[in-house]
Structure formats: structure tokens, C-alpha cells
Amino acid sequence: MTSSGIIDLAIGIVFVFGTTAALASVVTEMIARLLGLRGTYLLTGLRELLDNDQVITDLSEAQTDYQTLRDIVRSGPTAAPAGSPSASSRMPSATGALLGTPTLSNQGMTGRISSRKLKIVPATAPDRLPRITGPRRWRQRRSLPSYIPARSFSEAVIDLVLPDAAGLTTMADIQLGVARMTDALGTLKSSLLAMISNAGDDVGQFRTEIEHWYDDHMDRVSGWYKRHVAKITLVVGAILIVLLNINTITIGRTLYTESTVSAAVSTVAAKGTDCSASQDRQACLDSLQAQLAAVATAGLPVGWGTVRDCRAPRARCDWLDQRGIFSERGSSVWQFLLVLIGFLITVIAIVPGARFWFDLLGRLGSLRATGPKPAPPASQP
């Protein structure tokens, strides 16, 4: 096989890997939006940051939690009215109070957070995250904010801990408000006390400390989300690979033995690009499907069409033989193992992500366009 043929073979396989990974990622993102996963992880991450393991965060009580903690900060723990729901039936949630502040009560969403009848309950095991419960929770989770800026978070914290909202903000006022917090808010209170110690008398430094504290925790939350989404992507990718019959071994064999198919696929691959972050997901999905259809038209064995051996006259093939799962020549077990191995290779190729494969495709395309180094001119006699 010529060097250009080997490059075409590599381009074809990398293009299939990249398109499959991109297709799985787009479908996964659509599923994540449908389930409201980003908003769910944001809220559970906030609760891990602010509340202890005994508190239940009720979003419908966010305004009440905010007012209760504001009263405590103004006058101490005895400020909570005796017999009130916050004082008698449940402990106020720091997460609910923060989300009930004027800064965050409608941040990144339509309406107010207190209109969501959802509860964040503690995890049942140390290695699990808190979970969200409530009526019609799937629909409500989709309307939750998926992102809160660190600046908005720090403003909400300072608003919550100031004994008096009027006048200039000083570190003495902030320290007094935090000191008056009930010990039940141990997670939030201890963290704020440490940041007050680091900030000294500089309110700006205190804001920065809060923002860094929040950003560091949200980086961990982002890692939790990515690990969860990666599992969904693998499952979605495996399903798509089987449904579309994207078998690496079969595809590689066709690209290696049929140079015309390999060249045609390389031409299609030169026009295909990864979906940009700003592109509409449905438009991206349609584009990826069109790319797969184009390479199938070019002769690449994608889809569950009849294999070549069973298209021959007098071929005796059942349905599994026609799909290439078994072989009418008698080596069905070996053929079935090859199908499984081919699918497994394609599934594993999803792990690096579409961006990796499309970057590699760009490098291979540049190599193919450059071509072999020309021979040096013959020396003159």
C-alpha cells in the first residue's frame, strides 16, 4: 500500500472515530439538558460547600431561611421567633439562605428559586452526593440555574452576614455577623472565620477569599459532573455504535482493500469539522448524521446493510449472515468475536473525545496535502 494510501486509511478511521465521539457527545448533552444535570450538580455542590449532613435544603423555604439567618446575624440566635417554622420544625439551611438573597434568588433562571418545590436531602453514603427530590422534579430541575458567577456568590455571602445593610461595609461588621451565627451553621461559619482571619481588615481581600473558595469547590463539582457525563457518553456511544453498525475492523478492512473508497472518505473527511460550542445541538446532530450518510454513500460499511458475500448469486445467508454478525462460510464464532472486538474498539475510541480526533484529523489532512518530499535534482555532469 502506498504512503498516500496509508494516510487515507488513517484519515478514514480517525474521521469515523471523531464523528462517532461527537455524535455521542451531542446526544449526551441533549440528555443532560433534558434531565437538568447541570442545575442539579450546581445545587448539590452548593449544599456540600455550605451545609452539614443533617440539614435538608427546601428551595420553597429559601426566602424564609434567608430572613431567619438575617435575623440571627442582627441579634444573635435568639432572634428566630419562637414557634416559627424555621425555629420549631427544621434547621435553616445555609444553601437555602444564600439562594434566597436578593442577589441569587433569581440568578440564571425565570422566576424565583422559591417557586421550585424541590428539596436537597443528605447523601445516604459517604461516597455519594446529596439528591434532589420533589414533585415533577425532572421538569423543575431543567429550569434551575446551571451557573452562578463567583462574584455574585461573594456578594450574596456578604449580604447575608452583614448585621446592618445600611452604611459602609467593614470587616468589623462582617466579623460580628459571622460570630453571631448559630453553631448549627458550622460548615459555613468555620469557613468564613478562616477567611476573615486571612483577609485582616481588607474587605476586598475577603471578597477574593470567598470567590477563590467558591471557585475551588466548583472545580471539584465540575469534575463530578464530567465523570457522570462520561459514563452516560460511553453508554450512549455504545448504543449508537451498535445501532449504526460502526465496526472498526470492518471499516479498516474496507479502507485498506478498496483505495477508491478510502480516497472518497478522505475527501468527505476534509469537509467535516467538529461542532463548535456555539452551534445549535440539533443542527450539529443533523450535520454529523449527514457526514455519516456521506461516507456510507462513498462505500464505507456503516449501517446494517447486506454484506458483500451474501449479495452474490446463490448465497445461502440467514438474517444474521446478511448483517455480517455470523458467516455463511461456517466460521460464525470467529466472525461474531470480530464483530464484538470491532465494536469494542470503537467504544474505546470515544474516551479521548471528539476534539482529540478532529485535531488529529487536521494534522493528517495537512500531511496528506503536503505529500511526499520531492526527489533532489540529478547532479550535473
The answer to whether residue 376 is domain-embedded is no
The answer to whether residue 293 is domain-embedded is yes
Cβ partners under 8 Å of residue 160, min gap 6: 66, 69, 70, 73, 97, 98, 101
Q: Which residues constitute the domain of residue 126?
A: 36-226
Number of H helices, E strands in the chain: 17, 3
Same domain as 312, residue 205:
no
pTM for this predicted structure: 0.80
The answer to whether residue 351 is domain-embedded is yes
Mean pLDDT confidence for 322-337: 76
341 touches 249 (CB < 8 A): yes
The answer to whether residue 377 is domain-embedded is no
50 touches 140 (CB < 8 A): no
Q: What is the pLDDT of residue 361?
A: 85
Same domain as 251, residue 210:
no
Same domain as 98, residue 114:
yes
Confidence of residue 80 (pLDDT cuts 50, 70, 90): very low
251 touches 345 (CB < 8 A): no
Q: What is the pLDDT of residue 165?
A: 64
Q: What is the pLDDT of residue 133?
A: 87
pLDDT tens-digit series, residues 250-261:
899 888 888 888
**CA distances, 220 to each of 46, 212, 217, 257 (Å):** 11, 13, 5, 48
Residue 93, CA atoms < 13 Å, CB-side half-sphere: 26
Same domain as 173, residue 277:
no
Environment class of 153 (CB within 10 Å of its CB; exposed 0-12, middle 13-18, buried 19+): buried
pLDDT tens-digit series, residues 164-178:
766 668 898 889 888
Q: What is the pLDDT of residue 154?
A: 94
Q: What is the pLDDT of residue 193?
A: 92
371 touches 4 (CB < 8 A): yes
Same domain as 114, residue 199:
yes
Q: Which amino acid is at 52?
A: N
* Neighbour tally for 124: CB within 10 Å: 8
- How far is it, in rounded angstroms, from Cα 293 to Cα 302? 8
